[in-house]
Amino acid sequence: MPRILVIDDEPGIVRFVTRALENDGHSVVTATSGLDGMGLAVADPPDLVILDLAMPGVEGEAVLNGLIAQNPEQRVLVLSAMADVETRVRCLEHGAIDFLAKPFALRELLARVQCRLSTPSAPIQATLTSGELSLDLRRRELHMGDQVSSLSSREFLLLSHLMRHSGSVCTREDILASVWGYSFDPGTNVVDVYVRRLRMKIPSDVIKTVRNVGYQLQSA
């Protein structure tokens, strides 16, 4: 029985969608916050995540980024009233397999769910490479020549974010949203702490500090 995780802070929508999916033969788990949803997805990855974007605390796009970073094979269907072209394209570029705007027709949602569950997963990128760095996305290992380093969960998410944007400046806000799921700056130095940890495992000049902005992974 396919297992689906619904992440939405609207109780009425959650009940409505859950009942419809269960009647259609699916097992459903729900979460009413982005952090809870990410925790459930990491602990026991579902066959499909149905994700709302407009949630308090952790925004849905940050949740999407976190889900894909934790599990590149995770299938995510975004279900949201924030359906402008820029948002839809951004979600699809960041790894969502589908986007359905609210309000929606229940028959269409069920049809899309069935279609996405029956479609084989596309081949995914198994490694990220930048200069001498090679990041194994499945094993969460960092390779530099013959040297292999294990990474903590946050170190892995931070390095993968920097490597996906190699050569570009990643702002503290972007990093906090992608790695920690914050839609605000908590006023701590947590980003700096984890950058220092990464610099202990890679050549220290690979990650450049951009004063008052963020960090940049040198592309060569």
Tens digit of each residue's pLDDT (9 = 90 or more) over 79-127: 998 878 888 888 887 788 899 999 899 999 999 999 888 866 555 557 8
CA distances from 57 to 90, 128, 139, 145 (A): 20, 30, 30, 41
Share of the chain above pLDDT 90, in %: 39
End-to-end CA distance of the chain: 47
pLDDT digits (tens, 9 = 90+) for 173-214: 888 877 876 766 777 888 999 999 999 999 878 999 999 899
**Of residues 216 and 156, which shows the higher confidence score?**
216
pLDDT at 193: 93
pTM of the model as a whole:
0.61
- Coil, strand or helix: which one is 200? coil
Q: Is 190 exposed, middle or buried (0-12, 13-18, 19+ CB in 10 A)?
A: middle
pLDDT at 107: 93
Chain mean pLDDT for the chain = 86
In this predicted structure, the answer to whether residue 131 has a pLDDT above a threshold of 90 is no
pLDDT at 121: 57
User: Per mean pLDDT, which range of 36-50, 65-79, 113-127 is the poorest?
Assistant: 113-127
